[in-house]
Amino acid sequence: MTGTRTPIAGRLCQGWVRFYTWKLPDADARRRREEIESDLFEHANDAQLAGVGEQRLNAEILARVLVGVPADLSWRRASRQEPLMRLAVGGIAMSMSKSTQHRILYWLSGLIVLYCSIGLVSGIASIFVDWDEEPSVAAKIFFFGVPVVSAITLVAGLVTQSRDPRRGLALVIAGAVGPAVWFWMLPFYAPVMIAVIALAVSVTPRKSSQAAIT
Amino acid sequence: MGRRKKGELIAIEVEILGKALELSAGGGPEFHGFRMARELREGDGSDALIGHGTLYKALSRLETAGMLESSWEDPDAATEAGRPRRRLYRITSDGRLAAVAALEPRLVPDPPWHPGIEPA
């Protein structure tokens, strides 16, 4: 069978696989990537034969990726390598001073807040839209409300971080993850989200150093 | 949720072994990842396919435990068919034993119900 195109969710999936197999032993990483490559092809081919539309195929692939994320991460951990976030944090911590990390964290957080403001504007605009098919209230709250609440949580986290680093970190992570509800924007949003979380983890003092300070 | 014991099979692994056993009995002992995902979907009658991570982690664990074995298909065959090469899995004799042992309780029928006796 030739001519089966990788749908957009398939490319997103490939990106995710490259991400969580990063720095794994070459044989393990290559095998997982090739298996997923084959799976995506077979899935697309199967959908084409069954007359399944591209939108539904994208939704199916995306659902398979999301449902499998915990297993992917635990598989990675089981391979006895450094967890990905620790690698990212370690890389950032080694390459930048704390003040630079703080500055980049604030800039990226500003970008996220700006990005979330689209949710607020779209939410208000949606009141005046003449919908062909009116979305449910739950859908409106989810897609417009969650990013707005996330932006507030993120800012609250940044403000709290100096007084209560652990709570601040938890709020920053929650605020950064929230806008991922716009899953169709994930290929662009995910790198910013990961960078913000990694930076926030890196600038948060460890418990022992806190104890030493106090 | 407690930590699983060493060698203990979880539900998805039992299902995979059961399907692998069925495929083997049907004369097509080899299967690739997506084929198994489709078999599992048909087995439980749902619309959703199993997550990539869940499936390949389970396959990897079963292979490490010696219940499945796998190999890459001939690259020429894949090129000829115009698709990426498949990783083909087969159930081993250990896998058969484990599958039968795990599935046996499900195959035993419920005890007959007698009027006047409340089922436990």
H-state helical runs in chain B: 11-25, 33-44, 52-64, 75-81, 93-107
Interface probe for B, chosen from A64, A77, A84 (most Cβ of B below 10 Å), is A64
Substitution target in A35, A58, A69 with the highest count of B β-carbons within 10 Å is A35
In chain A, residues with a C-beta closer than 8 Å to the C-beta of B49 are: 43, 60, 63-64
A183-204 pLDDT, tens digit per residue, is 777 778 888 888 888 888 888 8
Q: With an 8 Å Cβ cutoff, are A63 and B48 in contact?
A: yes
Closest CA to A121 of A154, A153, A151, A159: A151
- Three-state DSSP at B98 gives helix
Q: Which residue of A has its CA nearest to B60?
A: A75
Q: Which residues contact A198 (CB under 8 A, 6 or more apart)?
A: A85, A88, A89, A92
* H-run or E-run covering B68: strand B68-72
Q: Is A32 an 8 Å CB contact of chain B?
A: yes
Which of A103-107, A185-189, B39-43 is the least confident region? A185-189
Interface residues of chain B, partner chain A, Cβ below 8 Å: 32-35, 37-38, 48-58, 60, 81-87
How far is Cα A68 from Cα A177, in angstroms, rounded to an integer?
Answer: 17
Question: Of A75-84, A156-165, B32-41, where does mean pLDDT reach its minimum?
Answer: A75-84
The C-alpha of B56 sits at a distance from chain A's nearest C-alpha, in angstroms, of 8
- The pLDDT assigned to B27 comes to 84
Tokens 């990675």 correspond to A76
> Given pLDDT bands bounded at 50, 70 and 90, which one contains residue A87?
low
Measured between alpha carbons, how far is A153 from B73 in angstroms, rounded to an integer? Answer: 50
pLDDT of residue A192: 86
Contact pairs from chain A to chain B, CB under 8 Å: 91
Name the nearest CA neighbour of A81 among A35, A31, A29.
Answer: A29
Classified as helix, coil or strand, B8 is coil
Which residues, at least 6 apart from A116, have a Cβ–Cβ distance to it below 8 Å? A147, A148, A150, A151, A178, A179
Among residues A46, A44, A20, which one has the least CA distance to residue A33? A20
Tell me which residue in B34, B58, B82 faces A42 most closely, judged by beta carbons: B34
- Tell me the two tokens of residue A66: 């999301």
Rg (CA), chain A: 20
Q: What residue of B is the nearest CA neighbor of A42?
A: B34
Pairwise CB contact (< 8 Å): B52 & A66 = no
Kindly provide the ipTM of the predicted complex, given to two decimals.
Answer: 0.83
Q: What is the mean pLDDT of residues A162-181?
A: 88
B109: pLDDT strictly greater than 60: no
pLDDT score at B106: 64
- Taking CA atoms, A210 is separated from A21, A51, A99, A103, A203, in Å, by 34, 59, 18, 22, 12
The reply to whether residue A38 touches residue B60, judged by beta carbons under 8 angstroms, is no
pTM of the model: 0.59
Q: Which helix (H) or strand (E) holds B89?
A: strand B87-91
Mean of the pLDDT values across residues A63-70? 90
Categorize the per-residue pLDDT at A2 as very low, low, confident or very high, splitting at 50, 70 and 90: very low
Pick B51 or A7 by higher pLDDT: B51
Output the DSSP codes for A52-87. Answer: --HHHHHHHHHHHHHHHHHHHHHHHHHTT---HHHH
pLDDT, one tens digit per residue, over A4-42 is 667 888 998 999 999 888 888 888 999 999 999 999 999
Q: What's the pLDDT score for residue A34? A: 95
Q: Do B54 and A67 touch (CB under 8 A)?
A: yes
